[in-house]
Structure 1
């Protein structure tokens, strides 16, 4: 029974893998695309953030449509967007063309970033829901790592003899315009994701909201006992029997604080600067003294640290809880950002020291904000509007990410690297306050118990 729910969670988490892959693969292409299309700093930011605009649109659509047509169907749609983006970017004939296909990929990221953790939370038993939802963040970090490997490998291929004797489209994709093969490589994980999605059932909680309780119970029986399944259905029916709540009332009713917490932490997680490292890592490391090839190689190390420290969250999120992981992680992020800023400010010419504290920042983010945010967003909202409410909170993630994607080149140019990292550090102060003083602990509680908590608190 247990292995069944784990398998379903792993398949859904592949949406996170594609999210991470799509987000990170662009880092190896920025320099090539900027040179080929003669992009200004502003247009460089647009190239990176264009996908994020698509992401915001994808998130907005996903919440409403998934409440109507189901989580599974929309996950399949996200896989199709990823595949279309990969093929389109490979064959783009102009910069405008490229941006359009990046926008399509962004829509896929937006849909997957909301629905993958949501689907997992709705099939997972309360006792290990945190661990299973955190699989999603692990998948994101693996996607980022594989993207870094792909970039480094394809860059080496472009300078080897493998395609030097060829001509035509193959030579263009793999040698003279290697960024095409980097962006196109996403077709492989997208195809795997689409095939595996055909094997998973629909969300039992979503089915229950549509009155299909028999089907919902049959799915629950795959990974829990009959008594546990009956109890789950009973809890869902109790929640559904309450007076209907509209999304507007959430901002003024008992769930207002949940919305404020979710949106605030979502934005602040991005203002930590995580995507400045993911998107512009090579550029930042070059500022620190590394060559482009070395910078891309160092990003593989960044990806490895990202993956390894996410396992801490998987291991501890259901034991010590969500709040302690966030508190320790944010403190570590704050210290690391301040030190990186100091290294740039005093022009300390030691790339190993710089890498150490960038990796410390990544490590702290990877066991705290990275996985725990998605766990919280998937569990703190009421059932009747969970899709729409999580859509709003997830959109806040991408608004923050879009800001960072668009503004980082400008910040690095005008505030310099030290000012940029200190600005990121400043945003961690209100995040730490919110987690310590306002955020409730949700470990071990069913989704319905969390919903009741907000009602009682009000």
Structure 2
């Protein structure tokens, strides 16, 4: 059978343009995910949050994403990828506007969950759409546009937070509300993209419209060959896929790969870093301004190395990138754990005078001249001296006045971790799951995997404030390092290479395997 190995250069620009428009959903996803990092202090004070309330306020967007994951796939199969993406854009706009104007905790949570539903839809449907219009030679790079836009969104959110943090009044409202502008642009831009050719043939048997789009992408010959492959794939399918199909033996390898990668992408702590970046740097003794500035560096690092991943993914391959990235993630997390493990906490006139709460300052005055070599020992000593509210304030805000730590090592560890994630688990996961599922079960399968991915992410985000306060940063980063090492072993044993293969070839390989 004839294969399509490349796209004529005269048509490549059209495919890239359409992919970039659709991948704007990734920008909103990244922006919405990271912008909350700058608003943490503001919303904590305004809504009078406990650790658990804060964890849910930050993580509830992922809670909404789980609903979006479950709904997006089946609805995209039923109504088309384009229509669902337009609805997603509307959800982002509503969420940004409402969360910025919220006056109650419950209202704020609902607004953020709506944005989460948009995230759940965008993170699944945009890669599916791009994978379905992209030729095999470009598919890895074009699908990675979505991840590229995610990291651009994260970087822009950090920049936005940095410039808005010192606004008088409730700056957190501006941080959250500015997202409505790109969300509205995305909503309008989506109306010009074509419907997925594969969906047109699979759902509507509309070969004519599919042929027009495919001809714009690669010419008449490319359209003819691609339609033939799609129809050949459809001919083998007897009925629409169901959840129960995912547990059939022939899909076992596919599900192990998809669920495993989805698990390790989040359990290794990436969203804890992105959502709480300024908080982590303040834990290392940084000021508010320097912490926001360091968060910008994190975002830019993520962006640069995502570009590296896009350049390498169709050259080096998916599996090598995963192995390289997870190995350096493990090293970076161990570096962070080591830095915090070697930190000391010193009480003297200078550090005690930095305490903003007079009652806490008086209660801890007798510690003048003391030094502690671990956060656990420090908390054990001061907890009996403070009431519950004061102790919480100390753990969140005052502890940074006393820490002596190699802040440069912490920054280097976080940057190495983010760079390693950006060339591996970040973009490669979405490229893989958009490639490995057969068309018959793709919608429902990616919804299930996306839901699972979001569930793990929600768990990590919900627990992280508690981990920092109760386990301390040393143990927290050590746990993530262990999980990252497990990711290396999983990739080595289970993940296959999909570079250069058509979607139909990948299906045949995995179902046969």
- TM-score higher than 0.5: yes
* Residue of structure 2 equivalent to 1:168: none
1:150-193: per-residue Cα shift (whole Å, max 9, x none)? 1011113x1xxxxxxxxxxxxxxxx3111111110100110111
Superposition pairs of residues 16-415 of structure 1, within 5 angstroms? 16-156=26-166, 158=167, 175-210=168-203, 211-242=205-236, 243-244=238-239, 245-347=241-343, 349-415=405-471
8 Å Cα contact 1:56/1:107 also seen in 2: yes
* Residue of structure 2 equivalent to 1:436: 492
Q: Tell me the secondary structure at the aligned position of residue 224 of structure 1.
A: helix
Q: Tell me the secondary structure at the aligned position of residue 289 of structure 1.
A: coil
2-structure distance, mates of 1:77, 1:260: 31
1:328-376: per-residue Cα shift (whole Å, max 9, x none)? 0000001100111011011162212210111000110011111111100
1:200-236: per-residue Cα shift (whole Å, max 9, x none)? 0011111110211221111111111222211111111
8 Å Cα contact 2:51/2:466 also seen in 1: yes
Deviation at 1:455, TM superposition (A): 2.5
2-structure distance, mates of 1:199, 1:37: 41
8 Å Cα contact 2:325/2:424 also seen in 1: yes
2-structure distance, mates of 1:456, 1:404: 35
8 Å Cα contact 1:79/1:193 also seen in 2: yes
1-structure distance, mates of 2:293, 2:485: 32
Deviation at 1:391, TM superposition (A): 1.1
Deviation at 1:435, TM superposition (A): 1.2
1:81-121: per-residue Cα shift (whole Å, max 9, x none)? 00000111121121111111001011111100111111110
Deviation at 1:251, TM superposition (A): 1.5
8 Å Cα contact 2:335/2:409 also seen in 1: no
Segments of 4+ in structure 1 off by > 3 A? none
Q: Tell me the secondary structure at the aligned position of residue 225 of structure 1.
A: helix
Relative to the length of structure 1, the TM-score reads 0.94
Q: Tell me the secondary structure at the aligned position of residue 209 of structure 1.
A: helix
8 Å Cα contact 1:267/1:399 also seen in 2: no
1-structure distance, mates of 2:485, 2:77: 35
2-structure distance, mates of 1:305, 1:349: 23
2-structure distance, mates of 1:58, 1:120: 19
2-structure distance, mates of 1:232, 1:250: 26
2-structure distance, mates of 1:30, 1:246: 41
Deviation at 1:240, TM superposition (A): 1.0
Deviates more, 1:262-271 or 1:23-32: 262-271
Deviation at 1:256, TM superposition (A): 2.0
* Residue of structure 1 equivalent to 2:24: 14
Q: Tell me the secondary structure at the aligned position of residue 254 of structure 1.
A: helix
Relative to the length of structure 2, the TM-score reads 0.84
1-structure distance, mates of 2:246, 2:104: 44
2-structure distance, mates of 1:354, 1:49: 24
Q: Which runs of 5+ in 1 are unaligned?
A: 159-174
Q: Tell me the secondary structure at the aligned position of residue 15 of structure 1.
A: helix
